[in-house]
Structure 1
């Protein structure tokens, strides 16, 4: 069984693994000077954040990753634009473009993506996200409710796929209306991108089962993932389709387990009381996935090992780096073994990450991927 493994590109910045207070390149403080109020170096030596992202993409490509996730958050650059730049810097690297369908017309998305497919020989794919609600969702100007967002996403993907092969395609839905739409040649001849679909609610699983090639989830305790994979596959098979599963997970991998946990401990011990208090906070918004992750964490945390959920699984990653809560910590062999266990539970692909992304792309590619059974 072939397992695809992707890397993450830090378009959101590169926070230090241990949250030290020195300026770090991932905050895009490039150049020889000090950061200005704009977040850019006051003296530019010609090496910019986009050059750094290109280095990461090339490192991942060299190290055996199939491509990289290009995140989409309020603080990131636009993933389609980043993909277009990186296409000229890489040869085989695939661009997993994260986006929320509610903020883009499906015909525009089809033209943009088909153009990228044509220019790159079919290297684009999607991470479709539907949003976590609350203030973060309102930042985008979106006040739609939880289930309504998934209904809208489903309609968007109906239209996107419908117009892809040239049409004429007409559609009358609640959110989208199209008359005789379709891509023109040669865009209509391009390969439709694979869809990685994120979301943990019943509404998310229903939409994933209809549209996705891969159901994508954050790491959770392994027993919970087994149950989640079974649910989405059952729903998909009821529609006469097949779906694969993927796990997005941060890792800390070192030559020995002791070294890996030492990295965690150093970061944890630098946390301020206010930062540590975040361990007990529950996420805002209506994201079921975020709630599932936070719900596995103890309410009182005083030591880093209070956050060990099961062997090599630590639930404090968002305290050190932001982002998802759970990750894998251990020796190279142990990290590969935990990933292999996830494959046995039903995972068909992974999106991995570790900071700093450049050095860790080489480390993980050289030390972990060769130990992962089924990696191609």
Structure 2
């Protein structure tokens, strides 16, 4: 398989090192950010979900209108829109984007965040609900006849969606590292998404999820997320990483950030924190400096070095069977342009060379 590169777009310029500026919903920035990914050679971009931010369906629709080949991965949390309605919304958006949509299902790893939208289920209940949600969603997306469904969280009678996705099958990505999450992914997901762990941890996750999917007679793909920090020399890249850390630390201090107290709830965040506690530099060039600052709260581990070194590190994960990589920078828009100049084409060349060598 060839390697797939995903990016991530936001609705205004902001990052760990860049204070947010301009309107919260910046139409021009969304358009420029999406176009930059398309021009840089990215395959797909993630549109995130937060309890206090602009609606991802509309952000995706606007970004898609500015691009022609770039695909989209829309984050969606079950529980706030019924699965029958969610299916119609997703199918409509896939038609609008000419079949360029996938959905990333996030059950929610933080109780306080969920409660902001009125969700008071606990973690186990959220995954049970997600299982129900995806069972109904899949049927609405594919069924040519009305159907009934009677689950723990959702019951429908004679449900039917006249609008179907343009694609024959809308791809479902799924995130979460707990046993409950892996069980849901094994039953429903096309791609399992994990944060940038050290190689040993990533290999363990791949084995565990593959085995779980196999018990349901299914195969599953994998995506992993990193924050590459690239420079002309290795020394310059590490100096850049230190600048990013100190700038982010100061920005967090000024914002009153709690630096990981209380401890993160999600298993994924706990795994990143465990990696950070092993050391700042792991494997070849995996850096946990920002992950430590934010208590593993999101995809925050970096690969540091020259484009050639970072490319080699990505290939180590590719060799584990992870054929989809999500990368985003600390200078979001400018880093996309830089990744497109060397990192993406170089990595694709190396993957192609390996495929030729293996088939010889």
Give the structure-2-normalised TM-score.
0.89
* Separation in structure 2 between the aligned mates of residue 273 and residue 3 of structure 1, nearest angstrom: 35
The 5 Å alignment of 1:118-157 reads 118-157=95-134
1:103: Cα distance to partner?
1.7
Q: Which residue of 2 aligns with 1:362?
A: 337
Question: What SS class does the counterpart of residue 317 from structure 2 fall into?
Answer: helix
Q: What is the Cα deviation at residue 322 of structure 1? A: 7.4
Change (3 A) 1:138 1:363: same
Distance 1:54 1:322 in 2: 27
1:289 maps to which of 258, 263, 268:
268
Could you tell me whether the CA contact under 8 Å between 2:285 and 2:305 is conserved in 1?
A: yes
Q: How does 1:152-231 map to 2 (within 5 A)?
A: 152-165=129-142, 166-184=144-162, 186-187=163-164, 190-231=167-208
**What is aligned with 1:324?**
299
TM-score (norm. length: structure 1) = 0.85
Match for residue 114 of structure 1? 91
Aligned to 1:312: 285
Equivalent of 2:21 in 24, 28, 35:
28
* 1:29–1:170 CA distance, 2 compared to 1 (3 A): same
Asked if 1:9 is matched to 2:2, the reply is no
Q: Deviations over 1:276-312 (max 9, x none)?
A: 997973664531111111122239xxxxxx6223321
Q: Superposition RMSD on alpha carbons, in Å? A: 2.6
Q: How many residues align?
A: 346
Structure 1: runs of 5+ lacking an equivalent: 31-39, 41-47, 300-305
Q: Assess, with a 3 A threshold, how the Cα gap between structure 1 residues 67 and 338 changes in structure 2: closer, same or farther.
A: same
Contact 2:286–2:302, Cα closer than 8 Å, also in 1? yes
Aligned-partner SS, 1:101: coil
1:370 to partner: Cα distance: 1.2
Contact 1:199 1:288 in 2 (8 A): yes
Separation (CA, whole Å) in 2 of partners of 1:68 and 1:79: 12
| SS of residue in 1 equivalent to 2:238 | helix
Matches within 5 A, 1:227-246: 227-246=204-223
Q: 2: distance between equivalents of 1:260 and 1:98?
A: 31
Separation of aligned partners in 2, 1:192 and 1:216: 18
Structure 2 residues without counterparts, runs of 5 or longer: 356-360
Q: CA deviation at 1:269?
A: 3.4
